[in-house]
Amino acid sequence: MRSVRWRGFVNVVWTVICGLGVVFAVVPLASLLWLVVSRGVAGLTPSFFVSLPTPVGEPGGGVGNAIAGTFLLVGLASVVALPVGIGAGVYLAEKGDGKAGKLVRFTTEVLSGVPSIVIGIVAYGLAVVPMKRFSALAGGLALALLMVPTLARSTEEFVRLVPGALREASLALGVPAWRTSLLVVLRTAAGGIITAVLLAVARAAGETAPLLFTALNNQYWNFRPDQPTASLTVQIFNYAISPYEDWHAKAWTAALVLLILVGALNLLARILARNKMMEGA
Amino acid sequence: MALTPAGTTARAGVSNLGDRTWAAALVVFGGAVMVIAGLILLELGRESAPAWQRIGFLRFLVSSDWDPVQEKYGALPFIYGTLVTSAIAILVAVPVSVGLALFLSEMGPRKLRRPVAFAVEVLAAIPSVIFGLWGLFVLVPWLRTTVEPALQSAFGFLPLFQGPPIGLGYLAAGLILAVMILPTISSVTNEVLKTVPLALKEGALALGATRWEAIRMAVLPYARPGIVGAALLGLGRALGETMAVTMVIGNSPEIHASLFAPGYSLPAVIANEFAEATSDVYVGALAALALVLFGVTLILNAAAQLLLQAVARGPRRA
C-alpha cells in the first residue's frame, strides 16, 4: 500500500493534468478572439457594412453584398428547414418510440454528422446541375439540408420536456389530439424551439464549405434567388487565401462581423433558454 | 334520442379527420429525414458514377496520381492526408478533452467550472472559416518559426520531423482540427460522465480513495465505451472538416512521411477543385471522394451512436 502522502501527490498531479486540458482549450480561444477583434476593428467603419468589395489597393470598400447574401441564403434555407426540421422533431417526440421512429432518430443522429462539404455536393447535383447555374437557391438548399437534422434533434428534446400531465389535462377536457399537440404542447415548448432555431441559424450563417460550389460568390449586390450570391464566409475565405495584405486586413474585419453576427444569435439563444428554464423551475 | 352513436361519431369524425391529418403530417416530416438520407446517397452515387466507370473502384482508391489535366485520378494522397491529420487531431484532442471533461465534472475548482464550460461552448460556436483564418496567420507562422524547428532539433532523426519547416502542412492541419473537435469530445464525455451512478464514485470515496483514484477505479471504467463514442464523434468531425484544413494543409496532392510537409485532404480537394471541375470524369472523381468521405463518417457516426446508447442504458452486468 502506497503512503497517503504519495496518493495525495498523485491526486494533485492528475488535477494539474486535467487543468492543462483547460489551458489547451482556452489559450487558442483567447488568442483567436483577441486577434479577430484587434486586427478586425480598424477596418470596421459604417461603410464596410454597406459598400461593395473594391479591387486590391483601392481604399474603402466593404462586404455589404456578402452580408446581404448571407441573410438571403440563411433566409431561403430557413423557409424550408424550419417547418421540416421542427416537424420531424415533433414526430420523434410524439411517435418516435416505435420501430419506424427509432430508425428516423438514428438516421437524424447520423445525418447530423455528415460533413457539410458532402451536403454541398448533393445540393450541387440537386439544384446547380438542373438549373445550369450557381445560385442562392442551391446554397440555401445546402444549408437547409444541414439544418434539418440539427433542428429535429433539439426540437425533440424540448418537446419531450413538456410535462405529460399538461397533455393529458388537455386531452381529458376533450381537446382533440392534434389541437393538443399544436396549441398546448408546441406552445409550451415554443421558447425552447426558438432557441434551437436561433442556434441552427447561427450555425448555417457560419457555414462555408457547402456554399463554395452552390451559391459560389458575387462581386455585386444580388437579391435574386436564381443568381450566384456572395456570403460573408466565402468572402472571408477568398480574402484570406489571397496574396494581398490589403485583403488580409479585410478578411479579419469580415471575420469580426461574422463573429458578431454568430455571437449575437448565440447570446440571444442563451438568454431565451435561461428565461425558459427559470419559468419551468 | 336513440342511443345510436350517430351524433358522437359525427363529432369524433371531425376530430378524427384532424387527428389523422396531423398524424399524417408528422409522418411526412419524419419521413422527410429518411428522404434526405436517401437523396444524399442517390445523388452521390449518381454524380460519382462516371468516375467509377472510367477509373474503376480499386484503381481509384490505391492510385496516388492526381493530375486532372492528364485525366489521372488517384484518391490516395487525399485519403492519406485525411487520415494523418485526423490521427494527429485525435491523439491530441482525446486526452485533452477527457481531462477537460473531468475538470468540468469532477476535478476542477467549482468557481472555475462555469466560465470554463462557457469558453468551451464559445469554442464550439466559432465558424470554421475563422479557425482557418487564425490558423493561417497565427498558428502556421508560430509552427514555422518556433515549434517545428524545436521538434526538429529534438526528434529530427525520425522521418516524421524531417524536411524544411514551412508551417503549412499535416501538423498545422492536425493541430487546428484538435482545437476544433475538442468541444465535441469534451461535451459528449461530460454527458457520459454524468450517467455514472453516484453510488459508484461515493463508494470509492467512502473507502478512502482520493478523488483521482475514485475516477480511475470507478468512474472511467464505467464511462469508457461512452468516451470511445465521444472520440468517434470527434473523429467523424475531424475527417469531414473542410475550411480550416483547406487553409492550412498546403494543398499539395502528394504523400509525405514528414508531418511538416504540405499535403491535401479529401474535403480540401473537393472545396478547392469542385467549382472548376470541367469534365464529367473530373466532377465524378471529386464526387467519388465525397462518397468515400460520406461512407467513412457514416460508419463512424453509427458506431458512436450505438456506443453512446449502450452507455445511456447502463451496463447489463453491474
Q: What is the ipTM of this complex?
A: 0.93
Q: Does A189 touch chain B (CB under 8 A)?
A: no
B120 within some domain: yes
| Å between B161 CA and nearest CA of chain A | 22
Question: How near does any CA of chain B get to the CA of A236, in Å?
Answer: 7
Backbone φ and ψ of B72, nearest 5° = -110, 120
Residue B22 is assigned to a structural domain of this protein? no
The answer to whether A236 contacts B25, with C-beta atoms less than 8 Å apart, is: no
The residue to which cell 462581386 is assigned: A219
Domain count, chain B: 1
- Please state whether the predicted TM-score (pTM) of the whole model is above 0.90: yes
Mean pLDDT score, A117-140: 95
Asked, for residue B76, whether it belongs to a domain, the answer is: yes
- Report the sign of the C-alpha dihedral through residues B270, B273, B275, B281, in that order: negative
Taking only residues 54 to 83 of chain A, the set having a beta carbon closer than 8 angstroms to any beta carbon of chain B reads 83
pLDDT at B317 over 90: no
Residue A92 touches partner B, C-beta closer than 8 Å:
yes
Out of B108, B129, B179, closest to residue A208 by CB: B129
Is A186 touching B (CB cutoff 8 A)? Answer: no
Q: Which of A175, A178, A180, A242 to mutate to test the interface with B (most CBs of B within 10 A)?
A: A178
Residue pair B121/B278 in contact by the 8 Å Cβ criterion: no
Q: Which pLDDT value is given to residue B16?
A: 83
Q: What is the dihedral of CA A267, B90, B225, B303, to 10 degrees?
A: 90
Q: Is A15 on the interface with B (CB under 8 A)?
A: yes
The rounded distance, in Å, linking the Cα atoms of B222 and A58 is: 62
Residue B181: CATH number of its domain: 1.10.3720.10
> Computed from CA positions of residues B37, B39, B40, B45, in that sequence, does the dihedral angle turn out positive or negative?
positive
Q: Are A193 and A158 in contact (CB under 8 A)?
A: yes
The better pLDDT of the pair A107, B13 is held by: A107
| pLDDT band of B316, cuts 50, 70, 90 | low
Chain A residues whose CB is inside 8 A of the B236 CB are 113
Q: Which tens digits make up the pLDDT trace of B42-63? A: 999 999 999 998 888 888 999 9
Predicted confidence band of residue B10 (pLDDT cuts 50, 70, 90): very low
Tell which of A3, A6, A31, A32 to mutate to test the B interface (max B CBs under 10 Å): A32
Would residue B273 count as lying in a domain? yes
B18 occurs within a structural domain: no
* Interface mutation target, options B8, B29, B140, chain A, most CBs of A under 10 Å: B29
pLDDT value, residue A278 = 53
**Closest residue to A90, CB basis, from B26, B138, B286:** B26
| Alpha-carbon gap: B66 to the closest alpha carbon of chain A (Å) | 20
From A232, which residue of chain B is nearest by alpha-carbon distance? Answer: B129
Residue B12 within any structural domain of the chain: no
Q: Is A161 exposed, middle or buried (0-12, 13-18, 19+ CB in 10 A)?
A: middle
pLDDT at B71: 86
**B49 inside domain:** no
d(CA A193, CA A280) in angstroms, rounded, equals 15
Mean confidence (pLDDT) of chain B: 90
Find out whether B83 and B267 touch, Cβ atoms under 8 Å: no
Confidence band, pLDDT 50/70/90 cuts, at residue A59: confident
In the block, residue with C-alpha cell 468515400? B292
* Distance between CA atoms of residues B263 and B248, nearest Å: 9
Cell numbers that stand for A100 in this block: 419506424
What are phi and psi for residue B252, nearest 5 degrees? -130, 120
Q: Give the pLDDT confidence score for residue B7 in this predicted structure.
A: 43
For the purposes of burial, counting CB atoms within 10 Å of the CB of B306, is it exposed (0-12), middle (13-18) or buried (19 or more)? middle
pLDDT at B6: 44
Split at pLDDT 50, 70, 90, the class of A1 is low
pLDDT band for position B13 (50/70/90)? low
Per CB-CB distance under 8 Å, the chain A contacts of B26 are 87, 90-91, 94-95
The domain containing residue B303 runs over which residues?
Answer: 59-313
Question: Does residue B123 form part of some domain?
Answer: yes
Using one digit for the tens of pLDDT, what is the confidence trace for B200-246? 999 999 999 999 999 999 999 999 999 999 999 999 999 999 999 99
The domains found in chain A, sorted by start residue, are 63-280 (1.10.3720.10)
